[in-house]
Structure formats: C-alpha cells, structure tokens
C-alpha cells in the first residue's frame, strides 16, 4: 500500500468516526456546532457541540456515553475493525463517565453493553444513512456546520 493510499484510508476512517459522534448526538437531541476532519495538534478530527443548548434527557450520563462511543463504533462498522488506539481519548472520557455508574471490576461488562447499544443504534438503516452522508460531506469539504450536519441527518431520516 502506498503512503497516499494509507492517508486516504485514515482520512476516510476519521470522517466516519466524527460522523458517528455527530449522528449519535443529533439522534439524541444534542445540537452539533461543527464537525471537522481537519487534523489539529492532538486529534485527527473533531465534533463540537453547541454550548448551553441541550434538551434535558432522561439519562444524561447514558447520552454522553453513547455519543463518546459512537465515533469508535461508526469507524469500526465502516472499516471492519475497532481502533481503540485512535479512539483512546473518547474511551478515557467514556470510562470516566462509566465509573459514575459501575465499579472498576464491572467496568468491562458495562463498557461492552454500552458499545453494543451504540452499535445497534448506529446500524439502524436511516441512522447509518446519516453517518454515510455526513462522512461523505466531510470527505468532500473537511468541515461541516452543525446546520449542514442536521440537514443531512434529517434528509437521511426521511429516506
């Protein structure tokens, strides 16, 4: 494989990763400010949420967990393999949240349950169409506004 091909595959995986975060957030009524696959100092992409605008959820902690895990899970669905190293920051955040709900000893079981729930949610046909649409838009333009992400999400939900 050439270096250029590897960079293309990494960029594509990053697009699916960030699209996963964005779609999960939007599906759980968490407004997205911007989604980007422009590499920065400490990350390959970023999904930013709007500050102070969030509809109260029945389970805030679970919402945050699903959003945190959605990047890794969407990337794994697309590539066929999980990249825990690439998702290390997301996993640290998710594990810290999980410890508010479970013990260190029970953490692996709880984490697997939450990963499975995230996977099931993202594999819904309309939801996965939204991930694909946002990932493609990121590959085309590198950065999307929250409004553009919401438009693509809504269009995918309509079929």
pLDDT of residue 143: 97
CA 55 vs CA 18, 51, 93, 95: distances in Å = 21, 12, 21, 24
- pLDDT digit string (tens) for 116-126? 999 999 999 99
At 56, is the pLDDT very low, low, confident or very high (cuts 50, 70, 90)? low
Active site residues: 18
Q: Identify the bridge partners of residue 34 per DSSP, sorted by sequence position.
A: 48, 145
pLDDT of residue 40: 83
The three-class DSSP label of residue 88 is: helix
Give me the half-sphere count of Cα atoms (radius 13 Å) on the Cβ side of residue 128. 14
What's the burial of 131, exposed, middle or buried (CB within 10 Å: 0-12/13-18/19+)? buried
Q: Which CATH superfamily is domain 3-158 in?
A: Peptidase M41 (1.20.58.760)
Residue 142 near residue 36, CB atoms below 8 Å: yes
> What does the domain layout of the chain look like in residue ranges?
3-158
At 54, is the pLDDT very low, low, confident or very high (cuts 50, 70, 90)? low
Q: Is the pTM of this model over 0.85?
A: yes
């Amino acid at each position: 494989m050439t270096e250029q091909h590897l960079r293309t595959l990494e960029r594509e995986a990053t697009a699916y990763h960030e699209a996963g975060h964005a779609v999960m957030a939007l599906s759980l009524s968490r407004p997205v400010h911007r989604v980007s696959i422009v590499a920065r100092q400490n990350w390959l992409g970023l999904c930013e949420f709007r500050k102070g605008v969030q509809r109260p959820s029945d389970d805030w902690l679970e919402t945050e967990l699903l959003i945190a895990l959605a990047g890794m899970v969407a990337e794994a669905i697309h590539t066929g393999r999980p990249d825990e190293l690439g998702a290390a920051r997301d996993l640290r955040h998710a594990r810290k949240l999980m410890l508010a709900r479970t013990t260190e000893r029970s953490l692996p079981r709880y984490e697997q349950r939450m990963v499975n729930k995230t996977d099931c949610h993202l594999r819904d046909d309309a939801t996965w169409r939204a991930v694909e649409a946002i990932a493609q838009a990121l590959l085309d333009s590198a950065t999307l506004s929250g409004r553009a992400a919401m438009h693509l999400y809504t269009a995918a939900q309509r079929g």
